[in-house]
Amino acid sequence: YQRRVRDPRVNLRRGKSDIYNRDMCTAGAGTLILEFKMLGRLVGDPTFESVAERAMDRLWEMRNRTTDLIGNVYDLERGEWSDPMSGIGAGIDSYFEYLLKSYVMFGNENDLHRFNTYYSAIERHMKRPREGGDPFYYANVHMDTGEVQNHWIDSLSAAFVGVQVLHGDLETAIHHHALFYGLWLKYDALPERFNWERRMCEYSLYPLRPEFAEATYLLYQATKHPFYQYVGETIYTSLERFNRAKCGYATLNSVLSKKQEDRMESFFLSETCKYLYLLFDTDHPLNRREDFIFTTEGHLLRVDRFARERMNVLNKEARTANISHMFTCETFPRTRQQTAPFSDEFWSQVATMINLSV
């Protein structure tokens, strides 16, 4: 570890990476802190925590100081961004997740400050349209200018809904989730990319990703609204109908043709199935405890008493943030429990935005 950001791939025989592997995505460099900190404390060796912290510090330093946005791919040799696109999906998603979860787990104030800074920048530069009450999406923008770089959203950005739940921004999470629910109804899956300008699928692969199921589970845990179990049933029905294969569940080569590939990613069992199972098993012990968090790969880490006390501070800060109509898990209005989590008018606007027949 001569650099502050790790190599994406290392040849175990030569002890170094090849030059053509010098690009590292932000998520790859910024999604070590939970596991490495825990490992270091379990074995009593601060080296693991140190290298993970150094990578996080370097990413923070590399943000644009005007927009507070961060790029997608970092050139390790040149020490600069090779892809300055900033978004909430592939290549960057779990970096934001781990900043917030690191604060919950270990109580590091710097991590919370950094997350809040990024979250404000995301709302300010990526959210489209900016007018309140309308269906919205988060566009991929240039980190230096905030200008839109392309016209697609990807399936991994559904994970940001779960981050918004943990942040206490439930109202935004509820309406953000509705976009992905509409896409699921449209395709019985989530395509890797959906073009929001042309209102059509741009990259039709569906490799059984867990992000939408995870967001649905977390929203149910936060609101106890039965709608999210209904969404989970919809996901399950689609998987049984289109992904079930002789020896497991298959990747869809195309959400349009529903042609299957001879491939089942490991995250389907470790994450997708796990979140759906927990969504319906409401009496499961994990659903009755508050002393754990999920890693980005769906593994469990136990939060100690100090970290749980920090969680109360987190919810307090979320309630006072400059975001309108915000609810935490404890303050979600009971009157909303008896109706849909969003209005019929809003849902009609979502359907129009993605060209969904309802």
Burial class of residue 180, CB neighbours in 10 A (0-12, 13-18, 19+)? buried
Distances in whole angstroms, Cα of residue 152 to Cα of each of 155, 189, 242, 274: 10, 16, 24, 28
**How many CB atoms are closer than 10 A to CB 35?**
17
Residue 253 backbone dihedrals phi, psi, to 5 degrees: -60, -30
Q: Do residues 152 and 140 lie in contact, with contact meaning Cβ atoms separated by under 8 Å? A: yes
Q: Do residues 184 and 158 lie in contact, with contact meaning Cβ atoms separated by under 8 Å? A: no
Q: What is the DSSP letter of 260?
A: B
What's the sign of the alpha-carbon dihedral 226, 307, 27, 148? positive
Tell the residue number behind the tokens 């890797």, with chain if given. 192
Residue 336 backbone dihedrals phi, psi, to 5 degrees: -75, -20
Closest CA to 249 of 220, 229, 282, 271: 271
Tokens, residue 318? 């979320």
Catalytic residue among 192, 211, 214, 271: 192
Q: Is 192 a catalytic residue?
A: yes
Q: How far is CA 60 from the centre of its chain?
A: 19
Secondary structure, 3-state, 13-72: CCCECCHHHCEEEHHHHHCCHHHHHHHHHHHCCCHHHHHHHHHHHHHHHCCCCCCCCCCC
SS3 157: helix
Closest CA to 121 of 91, 142, 151, 103: 142
Catalytic residue positions, numbered:
192
